[in-house]
Structures are given as C-alpha cells and as structure tokens.
Chain A
Amino acid sequence: AQSVTQPDIHITVSEGASLELRCNYSYGATPYLFWYVQSPGQGLQLLLKYFSGDTLVQGIKGFEAEFKRSQSSFNLRKPSVHWSDAAEYFCAVGATTDSWGKLQFGAGTQVVVTP
C-alpha cells in the first residue's frame, strides 16, 4: 500500500542550529514530492517541490530538500533555524500517474525552536 512516513512526531532545536526533518515514502514509482509548513491556526504553505531532475531542491525561507531514490526519502533541511520556523511540517506525495494531483500527507513533524 502507498504510504508516507514522517518518523519524528516532535523535534526541538535551538535557534541558529541546523534542522533536518525526515520523510520516507512507499509508492509504486517515484512520486511527486512536496514539503508544506503549517503555522498555528493557518493553512498549509508550500515550501518546495520535486518533480524530476536535480535531486537537491531549493525552497522558500532558506529550506532545501534532497530526494534519494535508493532510500525512498525526501528529507527537509535548513542550515540555521529562526524562531519563526516553529511550526508543523508535512511531507506530501502525489502519484505521477494521477493527473489530478491528489496529495497524500504524512502525519507531520512539530518543530519547536528554543532560544
């Protein structure tokens, strides 16, 4: 069955430290891959996406993600976090065979930033 797994429910990181959020997927073929961020009381904002090509993808707010086909992973990274990065982060996948673009989301990782 198709699945998206975010192994870390909760991560605490110090301001200025680096951040890495993990995402693993199980799909029949390489899917489209996305990272979204959700601040409290708000909807989802797209950070970055991977469709094909270069496996290192740059996004907004200084985030990047690397697609590793051999590990079925799409991990999100930021070299130096800011207090405003505290939020919930969702990895999402879409099947390349699905022309309608339905997304399947992971359960999310809550990021807390400490001073």
Chain B
Amino acid sequence: DAGVTQSPTHLIKTRGQQVTLRCSPKSGHDTVSWYQQALGQGPQFIFQYYEEEERQRGNFPDRFSGHQFPNYSSELNVNALLLGDSALYLCASSLRQGNNQPQHFGDGTRLSIL
C-alpha cells in the first residue's frame, strides 16, 4: 500500500521563476493538504483540496496556487519565486469522511531558490 508520494525530491530554481510540485495521496484518501516547512521551523499550512476545489487556505500570497485532479493527486504551483520560498514542501493526505482523520505526510520536496 503506497503512502503519500511527492516529486521531485529536490529542486533548484532562481528568483522570479515558477515551480510545480506534485503529490499523489495515500491509496483511499481523497483530501490533499500542502504545508511549507522553512529550515528550523514547524510546517505551515498553505491550502487544502477536496473534490478538485480549494477548501481552506492559510496565510500565503496568491503566488501560491494549486490544483487537484480527478484521481485525487495534486499540484502546488509557486510563481515569481523569492529567496524566502526556499523550504521543504510537504504534502499530506487524508480521508474526508469524518473530520478527525489523521493526515499522512509524504517525504517532501526540498526547494532551493538561488
């Protein structure tokens, strides 16, 4: 039973570029959340997708956008990259039924901005 998978593992970009990160949820899960984890900090909630719609959003600018596909996989897009966007980006999946389902995390994508 595959868990949450993310790609790529590492990515290097320069300021001003755009990036797309991908996530496949754990089998049977239908909800995907994205978190940003800066070095030495805890993860910060970016947004959450269910039924291909953004359901909740954290305190992140519109440069951060996402998408969920019919197979429940998801993408995180970041435009006009800034040095401060360097972080580990974590994807988490859960099952929507019941609001106390724990989230399962992938290993993340390490994004470095030069």
| Interface size of A as a range | 20 to 34
A107 and B94 form a contact (CB under 8 A)? no
Query: Which of A43-51, A68-76, A79-87 touches B?
Result: A43-51
A72 to B42, CA, bound (A): 19
Contact indicator per residue, chain B 69-112, by CB within 8 Å of chain A (1) or not (0): 00000000000000000000010101000011111111110000
B31 and A42 form a contact (CB under 8 A)? no
Which residue of the partner chain, among B45, B94, B100, contacts A32 with CB atoms under 8 Å? Answer: B100
A90 touching B99 in the complex, CB below 8 Å, given contacts A36-B105, A44-B105, A102-B56:
no
B102 and A107 form a contact (CB under 8 A)? no
Residues of A close to B42: CB separation below 8 A: 4, 90, 92, 105-108
For A104, the closest partner residue in chain B by CB is: B45
A36 to B103, CA, bound (A): 10
Q: Tally B residues with Cβ within 8 Å of A.
A: 28
- Chain B residues 14 to 46 lying within 8 A of chain A, measured CB to CB, are 31, 33, 35, 40-45
- Measured CB to CB, the closest approach of chain B to A93, in angstroms, equals 11
For B45, the closest partner residue in chain A by CB is: A102
Residues of B close to A107: CB separation below 8 A: 40-42
B101 and A101 form a contact (CB under 8 A)? yes
Residues of A close to B35: CB separation below 8 A: 103, 105
Residues of B close to A43: CB separation below 8 A: 4, 90, 105-108
Q: Is A41 interfacial (CB 8 A cutoff)? A: yes
Residues of A close to B68: CB separation below 8 A: none
B residues neighboring A (CB under 8 Å): 4, 31, 33, 35, 40-45, 48, 50, 55-56, 58, 90, 92, 94, 99-108
What are 9 sample pairs from A and B whose C-beta atoms fall under 8 A apart?
A43-B90, A44-B90, A98-B99, A101-B101, A102-B33, A102-B56, A103-B92, A107-B41, A107-B42
